[in-house]
Amino acid sequence: MRLLFTVFPALIFVVHTMAVSTLLVFSTLVDRRGWLWWPVVNFWGWGALQLAGVRRVHIQGLAGLRGLNCAILMANHDSYLDSPLLLGYGPEPIRIVAKRSLFFIPVFNLAMWGIGMIPIDRSNKKRAISSL
């Protein structure tokens, strides 16, 4: 029974991610700035957190980001929920650095490129730094 509660949400997460990725591909054809695709990305992050069992999120410090032209948000990767948290609750369209292998997943890769995510090759330090 425990396996069912692990496998089922994982399968739903994959379906959720692919459906949202398809929406993102089409929305980025119309809007590159983020006003159309950002709510879709927020929905993906929120949905991923719901599937992981996260029901409440408390955010501090967003007021410090208001009015800035740019900011760098760093996630420490204490869990797999860093990206859904940043994308699900970020105040404005943001881009994240993602490992390069994610950019080879069909449909998902088009969505990642379309919304401006930044691929990073962690196996090559020089190339990783130049991609930033």
Residue 118 backbone dihedrals phi, psi, to 5 degrees: -110, 115
Residue where the block lists tokens 């398809």: 22
pLDDT digits 0-9 by tens, 30-60: 887 778 888 999 999 999 999 888 889 888 8
pTM over 0.85: no
pLDDT digits 0-9 by tens, 80-99: 888 888 889 887 888 888 88
Residue 22 backbone dihedrals phi, psi, to 5 degrees: -65, -45
Give the pLDDT score at 18: 93
Element (DSSP H or E) covering residue 4? helix 2-30
Q: Quick one: average pLDDT of 104-125?
A: 89
Q: What is the distance between the alpha carbons of residues 98 and 27, in angstroms, rounded to a whole number?
A: 21
Binned at pLDDT 50, 70 and 90, residue 4 comes out as low
Give the pLDDT score at 75: 75
**Structure-token pair, residue 24:** 């993102």
pLDDT digits 0-9 by tens, 28-37: 888 877 788 8
Residue 106 backbone dihedrals phi, psi, to 5 degrees: -55, 145
Q: Tell me which residue of 90, 114, 86 sits closest to 23, measured CA to CA.
A: 114
CB 20 within 8 A of CB 40: yes
Q: Tell me which residue of 79, 20, 70, 69 sits closest to 46, measured CA to CA.
A: 20
Is 131 a residue whose pLDDT tops 80? no
